[in-house]
Amino acid sequence: MRLWGGLDRLARGADLRGATPSAPGEGQRRNSRFTVVTATPTSTVTALLAIPGIVLLFALPAFASRALLQELFYVFTMLALAQLWNLLAGCAGLVSVGQQAFVGVGAYALFAFTVMEGFDAVPSIALAGIVAGVVAVPAALIVFRLRGAYFAIGTWVVAEVCRLVLAQVKQLGGGTGTSLPTDVAGAMLGLEEVRELFAVRGPAARDILAYWLALLLAAGTFMLVYRLLRSRYGLALSAIGDAEAAAESAGVDVFRTKLLIYVVTAMATGMAGALIFLQKARISPDAAFSLIDWTAYVIFIVVIGGIGSMEGPIIGVLIFYLLQYYLAALGSWYLIILGGLAILLMLFAPSGVWGVISHTFDISLFPVRRRLIVPGDKAKQKEGEA
C-alpha cells in the first residue's frame, strides 16, 4: 500500500532541495551530490495534456446538454470527496469512516448563512468550508486519542454527534429538514452573467454555474492534494506511513502534520458538502450525514481505483459512475454488489485498478514518490526508484 519509501529517503538525509546528504548513505558514500525528483517524462506530458483538458471541460456548457452537466456535477463532487479521503486514509493513514460529518456541517453551514443570514450562496460555500475546518479542530483533538481502527469508529461517533446536534436546530428544519428558498439559488452571484452568456433560463443557468463550481472544486482539490504530497508535508506523511515512531525521531512533528491534513481535508470536504446541497436545494440530517452517500461510496471509489495514488480516485469515480448508471436500479442488490466487490478487491488486488496498471506498465501519470538521481550514474537512477 505504501507506494513510496519516504522514511528511507528521510533517513538518507535527502530533502527536496537536493542538498548534500548529512546522514551516512549512498549519496555520501559516493561522495557526490544527488537530486530528488518526482516528475517523469510521462507526468510532464500528462500535465501538459491536462491543461487543454480542463479548458475543454470549462467550455463544455457551450455545447453539452443540461443532463450531461448534471451527471458531471455528481462525478466531480464525488471525485473531490474521493481525493480528500484518499489523502486522509491512503496517505496520512487516518482511516476515517466519518467524513460525512464535514459534508453535513458544510451543507448546514451553507443553509445557515443563506437562509438565516441572507448571504449570497457562492461566498457561503467558502464560509462553509471554514466552518467545517473550525469544527474539525476539536474533533481531531478528541479522535486523535484513538489509534488505527478505533480512530475510524471515533470519527463516525463525531459524525453522529454533528447529525444529532443539527437535528435540534429548529430554524433549519430540525429532524425533518428544510428546503432552500428559491430566491437564494435564483439570485446567486454570477447567475445573471451566465444567463446572458448562454442565453438560457434560470434553472439551466443554475446548473451551468453549479457545474463550473464543481469543476473548480474537483480541479482545486486535485491540485491541493497533488501539491501537498509533493511538498515537505508529503515527505513527512510517507515517513509517518512507513513508521510513525521513526518519523517522529527523524524530526517529523507527527501530531501537527496529521492535524493539518485532517483540518485541510475537513475544510475542502465541507465546501463539497455545501456545493452538493446547494444544488440539491433541500437538506435533512439523514441526507446530509449519510454514511452510505458520503463515506461508503467514497471509500469504494478510492479502493476500486487504487488507494494511495493520485490516479486511483479518477479511475475509481469513472468505474463507480458506470456501476451506478447500470446497476443502481437494483436497489439493495446494488449495494450488496458494491460491498462484495470491495471485499474481493481488498483480498486480491488491494492496490486497486490503478495499482495493477501502474505495476504492470510501470507508469505514473501524477507521480508523488520521490526518486533519487545521482548524476552520471544511470544504473543508480533506476535503482533509486522505490
Closer to another protein by Cβ: residue 57 or 157: 157
Closer to another protein by Cβ: residue 97 or 210: 97
CA distance 174 to 162: 13
CB atoms inside a 10 Å sphere around CB 383 = 12
Which residue among 16, 54, 75, 157 contacts another protein (CB under 8 A)?
157
Which residue among 24, 181, 350, 375 contacts another protein (CB under 8 A)?
350
Residues in 65-94 at the binding interface with another protein, rule: CB under 8 A: 89
Closer to another protein by Cβ: residue 197 or 336: 336
Residues in 91-110 at the binding interface with another protein, rule: CB under 8 A: 95, 97
Which residue among 122, 134, 152, 187 contacts another protein (CB under 8 A)?
152
Query: Where does this chain touch another protein (CB under 8 A) — which range of 159-167, 230-238, 245-253, 369-377?
Result: 159-167
Q: How far is the CB of 9 from another protein (least distance, A)?
A: 20
Closer to another protein by Cβ: residue 64 or 386: 386
Q: Is 343 in the site for another protein (CB under 8 A)?
A: yes
For 5, 260, 296, 338, 347, the CA distances from 331, given in Å and listed in that order, are 42, 38, 15, 11, 25
Residues in 268-297 at the binding interface with another protein, rule: CB under 8 A: 291-292, 296
Which residue among 333, 359, 362, 383 contacts another protein (CB under 8 A)?
333
HEC string of the chain equals: CCCCCHHHHHHCCCCCCCCCCCCCCHHHHCCCCCEEECCCHHHHHHHHHHHHHHHHHHHHHHCCCHHHHHHHHHHHHHHHHHHHHHHHHHHCCCCCCCCHHHHHHHHHHHHHHHHHCCCCHHHHHHHHHHHHHHHHHHHHHHHCCCCHHHHHHHHHHHHHHHHHHHCCCHHHCCCCCEECCHHHHHCCCCHHHHHHHHCCCHHHHHHHHHHHHHHHHHHHHHHHHHHHHHCHHHHHHHHHHHCHHHHHHCCCCHHHHHHHHHHHHHHHHHHHHHHHHHHHCEECHHHHCCHHHHHHHHHHHHHHHCCCCCHHHHHHHHHHHHHHHHHHHHCHHHHHHHHHHHHHHHHHCCCHHHHHHHHHHCCCCCCCCCEEECCCCHHHHHHHCC
CB 188 within 8 A of CB 121: yes
Which residue among 22, 48, 126, 145 contacts another protein (CB under 8 A)?
145
Residues in 209-268 at the binding interface with another protein, rule: CB under 8 A: none
Q: How far is the CB of 21 from another protein (least distance, A)?
A: 28
Judged by CB under 8 A, the number of residues near another protein is 42
Closer to another protein by Cβ: residue 23 or 346: 346
Which residue among 17, 29, 147, 378 contacts another protein (CB under 8 A)?
147
CA distance 382 to 292: 43
Which residue among 332, 361, 378, 379 contacts another protein (CB under 8 A)?
332
Q: How far is the CB of 210 from another protein (least distance, A)?
A: 29
Q: How far is the CB of 158 from another protein (least distance, A)?
A: 8
Closer to another protein by Cβ: residue 2 or 380: 2
Q: Is 160 in the site for another protein (CB under 8 A)?
A: yes
Q: How far is the CB of 89 from another protein (least distance, A)?
A: 7
Which residue among 105, 210, 299, 374 contacts another protein (CB under 8 A)?
299
List of residues contacting another protein (CB under 8 A): 1, 89, 95, 97, 142, 145-150, 152-154, 156-158, 160-161, 164-165, 167-168, 291-292, 296, 299, 303, 307, 332-333, 335-336, 338-343, 346-347, 350
